[in-house]
Structure 1
Amino acid sequence: MKEIIIGHSFHQEERESELIERAQSGDHDAFSELVRRHRAKAQGWANGLAQDPFLAEDIVQEALLKAFIHLGTLVDVTRFLPWLHRIVRNQAMMKLRRGGPYRHEQPFTSLANRSTGDQIQVDWENIESIMTYMMSAKFQESSAASNPEEHIVRQETFETILNLFSCLKPRERGIFEAYFFQQLSPQEIATLFDMTMSSVYKSLARTRQKLQHERIRVFIQDHLVQRRDKNSSSKKILERPNIYMQRIGDSHFLGARPSVTYCLWGLLQYTDKKHLSLAEVNGLTGQAFSINIMKETVHIGGPFTLAAEPSFEKLLANLGFDFKVSMNLPTQPTAVTDVLRTVHQSIDRGAPVIVWDLFHAEFGLVYGYDDDEQRLAALDKLQLGDVAYEQIGRGKTSEISIIAIQEERAIDRKAALLQMIDAVLEHGYTEGTRNTGDGELASGLAAYDAWMEAFQSGRIVPFFNAYNTVVYAELRQYAKQFLHRLCDDPDFIQDRELLEAASASYEITAKALQELAILFPFPMGGDPMNEQQVQKAIFLLQEAKQAEKEGLYHLAFWRDRLRLEPPLD
């Protein structure tokens, strides 16, 4: 075993990656060091979700155990922290769904003595929860004889699990059955099968994943059977969306940042709202005025949090439709079939569906389905092609997000603008930070301060910084265009001077960020450690922040005037 030397002079990211790789190969010391580094963050995440210190500690303990067991499934070692955050979050959600601190899984020895009306809580979406239920049920065989209904449920569950086992190789099945049904410890299993403890953990992790994927496959088949029973169409491909048609450089597309609003604009091309420009889509949804910065490294995840903003779903109505929005769901059988159901319904009505992580960790559009081949016609910023039904939710992030048009709705233009400005001002003046899987997040004007602090402390990662720069430079250009177009709107002729001032402010912000993008070009990123460039960057960010502050002031003034003006016709 290679010795772990705390305080080695390796770069932190390289050191972390090496630790993870060692831990994946069974190095317990390496995993212990990872726990030492990140336990405090895990505890903070759990505390924020559970609001109970004892439950939070319980969540962290179980999450770390699962992290060790499943570490072999982590493909991208640079994503360890968000991966761990997702485990903590899922563990917390599972426990909270089961009724809070004192109603999570009962000790096995107490199950035989429970009251007749009580039932074990099972997360039927999660294969591990089901298997835990099967283990627990084994301790109740003596009492089950007096409860025929429970006996039938347990028997049906048992048969369902056995049917899923057909996807396993004989050795995998033997190890899994030894752990869950014979209740042998990993050490006993290692001895029985002549393998290392690390190999046992990896086998269990792979098998859990296989069984979960098999459950998803079964759910998909059931969904398709129901469609056939209803004589639904088995194939429909819409005209290819009119987005991602032009490339800039090697792999980046015109107007492709951020992908959620670009896909929304593409989606509207199938409706009577096709006249809305990309700037209007970004403006009406508040995206043109948003900025989220990860404090530690200006992480690439900052811009991706925009679609998860609380106001975003509400502001989508400004586009003239009700939307179905599901964000950041774990890959569970019902979530996958809900995506398919939504795709079928929407495409049958003539509109694509926006789906996250089709080929790449971005939003893309699904514009066709083929039930016979079980494939979706899709595209995102990097690829055009087919996605297998079973691949939904199995991309780089293992999460599911969808946005789909539902019904058209009438828009009160004045009310829509007021709602948008309220959201923009609330975002712009956000105080403090919030924790995410990628780090501590600052928003609005405070995001500029976080960005400057990252430069001053030398924590900037070049690629991350360059991506944030090009995203927010583009968004502020949309803000300027959106406000400039309103200047010529007859409904707001009396507000023209105010709108021109707001547009000019965001134009200054956009130009400052565009200069920053030239200084740190995407994707190479330049040299954010160069002292002269750091000073120039801080100057540009101060300029951008000051102009944005003035822009928010003008928007607040316009909001107050709009409230006093009569309704628009």
Structure 2
Amino acid sequence: MTMKEIVIGKSFHTEDNESELIGRAQSGDHDAFSELVRRHRAKAHHWANGFAQDPYLAEDIVQEALMKAFVHLGTLVDVTRFLPWLHRIVRNQAMMKLRRGGPYRHEQPFTSLARRISADQVDWEDVESIMTYMMSIRMQEAGSVSNPEEQIVRKETMETILNLFTCLKPRERGIFEAYFFRQHSPQEIAALFNMTMGSVYKSLARTRQKLQQERIRVFIQEHLMRRRDENASSSKILERPNIYTQRIGDSHFLGSRPSVTYCLWGMLQYTNQRNLSLAEVNALTGQAFSIHIIKETVHIGGPFTLAGEASFNQLLSNLGFKFKVLTYLPAKPNTVTDVIHTAHSSIDRGLPVIVWDLFHAEYGIVYGYDDDTQKLNALDKLQESEVPYDQIGKGKTSEIGLIAIQEEFPIDRKSALLSLLDSVMEHGIDAESRNTGDGELVRGLAAYDAWMDAFRGDRIIPFFNAYNAVVYAELRGYARDFLFGLLDDSEYERDRVWLEVAWNCYKTTANALYELSRLFPFPMGGDPKNEQAVEKAISLLRQAKEAEQEGLIALEKWRDRLKS
């Protein structure tokens, strides 16, 4: 997204009535948002510089924070809280950059390089890291003799970079070379090319992205050349997965939430575990008993959190296989080619793979490939189509996730249940919170409290709340059905007293959450500001929590008996 130049219209000449200005910006008025930027940019830069302690990096943080603010302005419920809201976005953006290895991990101005970077410290998948290495060498090699191995590495790296430059337009290349090779400051480049400082930063960011995408393309071509040298199959399409066959509305399908376990269930149809039900898959992987709530707004990202936790990776073995799992990774050349290579080898063995963010921010299944057209056959909630190899990692989130079966991992039923119950106990009573890019997150019983507090504090965003309600209602329905199935299993006749208590509790929780989802129907979301609706919602959440708390006690007693 390119932010417009600031244009101050007649209605913006006064500094008063900022709430009206924010309202206009929320409705899509770019000029109104530009005026908000004019008023608060200096303050945002001051905040960013306080975190980064570097004016150049602070400018980068502000640019990206303002773009995020523009995209997410519609989520701001209380317009009088605009400045604290903007401060939080700036802070999160700064923390994200600093967590990636310090203020200069990816955008270090070369004038501040104080020491030599060795070849083994370079991220050879990342263009900025490579360029930083090259420039640190150039700055410090004058009058010194480098060792022969390092000279060869530099020569090969420089040749690779120069080849990548063919994807750039002449002006882009000139700006990039001025910054990376001639060590000009952004101010000098702005004067040299008659640009604003903001335009220099945008050009450098676009150029880095272009070079990184070109590098990914080169990696893919090298991977395909290796396959041809090995006389590997050039194409294969498996039978279509038996998922996403009935549509509801424009974006959701029958039995499709959450998408990660729905896709797992679909993938198991190709294996000797094809008889596992959808409820069993959701239960054995912990999803049916999970709840993650992001405090401020009950953000839509909460239900996706478990798939990124180590406990989920461990619980996957309860399905009878060892899995290869990549979770929400940035699109780097080796990661992209790893996903494509894994898809090739898995499909050749007759097994599809699960990939994150194919057509939109959900999990989908890849079940075919064609190296000649360089496309994958795939489907997710939104569509069924072909995905070009070089589009992997370029979806809505610009992240990559992968789940692929590696080999069989026989596990007896008791061991799988104990593994599940240990995870359920740990998850359910965990009251600690942690920060995410979407806000502070809590899980288990504490998540119900956070959800009720969001209603009391009038912080509910209708779409987010409705999505959480319908997802967790469905998940608790799977927990109920899983426990009911165990009641009919003669092997657990001695455990019937605890299983029956747990089943009744999770049935109560599921019913309360289903009623909540009807009160705030997805996707429209109902009216979470209506006092009667809020009172009813809090009552239902309290009922769901109390029942689940009792259910956890019953499951803990059952676990202890199984262990004995």
Residue of structure 2 equivalent to 1:141: 141
| In structure 2, C-alpha distance between the alignment counterparts of 1:25 and 1:182, rounded to whole Å | 36
Mapping 1:31-70, distance limit 5 Å: 31-34=41-44, 64-68=58-62
Question: Which of the residues 96, 99, 102 maps onto 1:92?
Answer: 99
- Using the TM superposition, give the Cα deviation of residue 250 of structure 1 relative to its aligned residue in structure 2, in angstroms: 3.0
Partner of 1:567: none
| Alignment-derived partner of residue 544 in structure 1 | 544
Question: 505-514 vs 154-163, which deviates more?
Answer: 154-163
Distance between the aligned counterparts of 2:410 and 2:23, measured in 1? 51
Distance 1:10 1:447, change over 3 A: farther
Query: Contact 2:48–2:61 at 8 Å: present in 1 too?
Result: no
Q: Sequence identity of aligned pairs in percent?
A: 60
- Do structure 1's residue 77 and structure 2's residue 71 form an aligned pair? yes
Cα displacement string for residues 427-457 of structure 1 (whole angstroms, at most 9, x for unaligned residues): 0001121111100001000000000000000
CA distance in 2, matches of 1:427, 1:495: 22
Structure 1 pair 381–83 and aligned structure 2 pair: CA distance change class (3 A): farther
Partner amino acid, structure 1, of 2:451 = W
User: In the TM superposition, what is the alpha-carbon distance from 1:64 to its structure 2 partner?
Assistant: 4.0
Provide the secondary structure at the position in 2 that maps to 1:139.
helix
1:428 is aligned to 2:428: yes
Q: CA deviation at 1:145?
A: 3.6
Matched ranges for 1:132-211 at <5 A: 132-211=132-211
Structure 2 vs 1, CA of residues 408 and 22 (structure 1 numbering), >3 Å: closer, same or farther? farther
Cα distance in structure 2, aligned partners of 1:76 and 1:273? 47
SS in structure 2 opposite 1:367? Answer: strand
Q: CA deviation at 1:147?
A: 3.3
- Local SS of the residue matching 2:100: helix
Closer, same or farther: CA 425–355 of 1 in aligned 2, 3 Å: same
How far did residue 18 of structure 1 move?
8.1
Tell me the amino acid that sits aligned with residue 285 of structure 2.
T
| d(CA) in 2 for partners of 1:227, 1:75 | 44
Q: Partners of 2:109 and 2:47 in 1: how far apart?
A: 29
Which residue in 2 is equivalent to 1:253? 253
Q: Where does residue 514 of structure 2 map in the other structure?
A: 514
- The corresponding residue for 2:81 is none
Residues of 2 paired with 1:13 and 1:438: CA distance?
A: 22
- Within 5 A, what are the aligned runs for 1:390-405? 390-405=390-405
| Distance of 1:197 and 1:275 partners within structure 2 | 61
Alignment-mate amino acid for residue 266 of structure 1: G
Match of 1:9 among 19, 23, 26: 19
Matched residue SS, 2:142 = helix
- Determine if the alignment matches structure 1 residue 467 to structure 2 residue 474: no
Using the TM superposition, give the Cα deviation of residue 190 of structure 1 relative to its aligned residue in structure 2, in angstroms.
2.0
Deviation at 1:171, TM superposition (A): 1.1
| Cα pair distance change 1:176/1:37, threshold 3 Å | closer
- Separation in 1, partners of 2:372, 2:298: 45
Q: Is 1:531 matched up with 2:531? A: yes
Counterpart check, 1:413 vs 2:416: no
The alpha-carbon deviation at position 484 of structure 1 amounts to 0.1
Cα distance, 1:84 vs structure 2: 8.0
Structure 1 SS opposite 2:122:
coil
Q: 1:74 to 1:297 in 2, by over 3 A?
A: closer
Judge conservation of contact 1:22–1:30 (CA < 8 Å) in 2: no
What are the superposed Cα offsets for residues 41-76 of structure 1, whole Å, 9 maximum, x if unpaired?
A: xx6xxxxxxxxxxxxx56x97764443466798697
Cα contact 1:108–1:139 (8 A) shared by 2: no
Does the 8 A contact of 2:460 with 2:528 survive in 1? yes
CA change 1:195–1:540 in 2 (3 A) is same
Q: 1:328 to 1:498 in 2, by over 3 A?
A: same
How far apart are the structure 2 equivalents of 1:86 and 1:224?
37
- One-letter identity of the residue aligned with 1:152: I
Alpha-carbon distance, 1:326 to partner: 1.0
Tell me the SS of whatever aligns to 2:386: strand
Tell me which residue corresponds to 1:489. Answer: 489
Amino acid at match of 1:78: H
Rounded Cα–Cα distance in structure 2 between residues aligned with 1:374 and 1:533 = 52
Contact 1:298 1:460 in 2 (8 A): yes
CA distance in 2, matches of 1:83, 1:235: 47
Q: Are the aligned partners of 1:82 and 1:438 in contact in 2 as well (CA < 8 Å)?
A: no
Residues 377 and 88 of structure 1: is their aligned pair in 2 closer, same or farther, counting only changes over 3 Å?
farther
Counterparts of residues 256-275 of structure 1 (less than 5 Å)? 256-275=256-275
Distance in 1 between residues matched to 2:300 and 2:109, nearest whole Å: 37
Q: Do 1:294 and 1:441's aligned partners in 2 also have CA atoms closer than 8 Å?
A: yes
Alpha-carbon distance, 1:184 to partner: 1.6
Give yes or no for contact 2:22–2:33 (8 Å, CA) kept in 1.
no
Q: Does 1:347 align with 2:347?
A: yes
Deviates further, 186-195 or 522-531: 186-195
Spell out, residue by residue over 1:495-519, the C-alpha distance to the aligned partner (whole angstroms, 9 max, x if none).
Answer: 1232121111101100101110111
Distance in 1 (CA, whole Å) between partners of 2:125 and 2:563 is: 48
- CA RMSD for the aligned pairs? 3.1
Query: What residue identity is the alignment partner of 2:71?
Result: V
Report the Cα distance in structure 1 between the residues aligned to 2:125 and 2:165, rounded to whole angstroms: 17
2:510 counterpart SS class = helix
Q: CA deviation at 1:314?
A: 0.6
**How big is the shift at 1:87?**
7.2
> 1:224/1:38 Cα in 2 relative to 1: closer, same or farther (>3 Å)?
same
Quick one: structure 1 residues 188 and 35, their matched pair in 2 at CA, closer, same or farther if it must change by over 3 Å?
closer
Q: Distance in 1 between matches of 2:390 and 2:91?
A: 24
Kindly state the Cα deviation for residue 324 of structure 1 after the two structures are TM-superposed.
0.5
Question: Matches of 2:186 and 2:103 in 1, distance apart?
Answer: 28
| C-alpha deviation, 1:96, in angstroms | 11
CA contact (8 A) 1:25 1:198 kept: no
CA distance in 2, matches of 1:458, 1:37: 27
TM superposition score normalised by structure 1: 0.87
The more displaced of 9-18 and 226-235 is: 9-18
The 2-side partners of 1:282 and 1:21 are apart by: 47
Distance 1:307 1:228, change over 3 A: same
Residue 201 of structure 1: how far off its partner (Å) = 1.6
CA 1:218/1:73 → structure 2, altered by over 3 Å: closer, same or farther?
A: farther
CA distance in 1, matches of 2:131, 2:539: 57
Q: Which structure 2 segments of 5+ residues have no match?
A: 1-5, 74-85
SS of the counterpart of 1:9?
A: helix
Match of 1:561 in 2: 561
* 1:253 counterpart letter in structure 2: F
* Residue 333 of structure 2 is aligned to residue 319 of structure 1: no
Equivalent residue of 1:210, what SS?
helix
Report deviation, 1:187. 2.1
**CA apart distance, 1:561:** 1.1
User: In structure 1, what is the Cα distance between the partners aligned to 2:143 and 2:63?
Assistant: 33
CA offsets, 1:125-153, max 9 Å, x none?
A: 21111112222222123245453332332
What amino acid does structure 1 have at the position aligned with 2:293?
I
CA distance in 2, matches of 1:536, 1:159: 66
Task: State the Cα distance separating 1:413 from its structure 2 match.
Answer: 1.2
User: Structure 1 residues 146 and 360, CA, compared in 2 at 3 Å: closer, same or farther?
Assistant: closer
Residues 457, 321 of structure 1: alpha-carbon distance in 2 compared, 3 angstrom cutoff: same
Question: Could you tell me which residue of structure 2 aligns to residue 477 of structure 1?
Answer: 477
- Equivalent pairs, count: 539
**Structure 2 SS opposite 1:526:** coil
TM-score w.r.t. length of structure 2: 0.88
The secondary structure found in structure 1 opposite 2:478 is helix
The CA deviation string for residues 289-329 of structure 1, in whole angstroms up to 9 with x for no partner, is 00000100000010010211221111101100000111121
State the alpha-carbon separation in 1 of the partners of residues 99 and 351 from structure 2. Answer: 36
Instruction: State whether residues 355 and 401 of structure 1, in contact with CA within 8 Å, keep that contact through their aligned partners in structure 2.
Output: yes
Q: Which one is further off, 131-140 or 470-479?
A: 131-140
2:306 corresponds to 1:296: no
